[in-house]
Amino acid sequence: MSRSPREVAEQVRRMVAGEGVDFAGLFAPDGVLTYPFGLPGQPDELRGREAIRAYFDRRRGARDLLVMEGVEAVVRQTDDPEVVVTEITHHGYSKAAGQPYRHTALGVIRVRDGEIVRYDDYMNPIATARLLGRTSELASALSAGQSADQSADQSKE
């Protein structure tokens, strides 16, 4: 029996909580994961279950920066029976920031035949950078982007 979009969203919540759920295993073989507001160095899009698995395998250490104390999720149904919108909030202590944190992300999840075919993960890049101790990296990337934008504008003149 295949899982409903709501059941898949609960599995995502369990994965965030560190309950041993294989995130990549929730995806269809050709499923897509996007980060519309990703951090510098983070891919905008990952295509395919194995690409998603490889990306998360490389990032295992990021979880060590957090002492997670709780995870809550609100799942909202949509007019499309394949799609749910999730609001996942986790909280605890950020070792990187040296302070307590509360972090929320929105996910638009499309599930077909019990597997994720598309997951658009919307996180606030400033809050995420603070949480992971990467604000200077984000500021540098933004400054570099601004310089590139200014150069492009000057070349048009």
Q: What is the pLDDT of residue 147?
A: 47
Q: What is the pLDDT of residue 128?
A: 83
Pick the CATH number of 5-156 from 3.40.50.920, 3.10.450.50, 3.90.1150.10, 3.60.20.10: 3.10.450.50
If DSSP codes are grouped into helix, strand and coil, which group holds residue 43? coil
pLDDT band at 145 (very low <50, low <70, confident <90, very high): low
Q: What is the pLDDT of residue 34?
A: 97
Question: pLDDT tens digit string along 50-105?
Answer: 999 999 998 877 778 889 999 999 999 999 999 999 999 999 999 988 999 999 99
Q: What is the pLDDT of residue 1?
A: 60
Rounded Cα distance between 116 and 77, Å, is: 15
Residue carrying the six token digits 């395998």: 57
Rounded Cα distance between 115 and 4, Å, is: 9
Residues in a beta bridge with 92? 68, 101
Task: Write down the pTM of the prediction.
Answer: 0.84
Rounded to an integer, the average pLDDT of 122-138 is: 84
Looking at the predicted structure, is the pLDDT value of residue 140 above 90? no
Question: pLDDT tens digit string along 33-45?
Answer: 999 998 888 899 9
For residue 46, the tally of other CB atoms under 10 A from its CB is 22
pLDDT band at 10 (very low <50, low <70, confident <90, very high): very high
Rounded Cα distance between 12 and 3, Å, is: 12
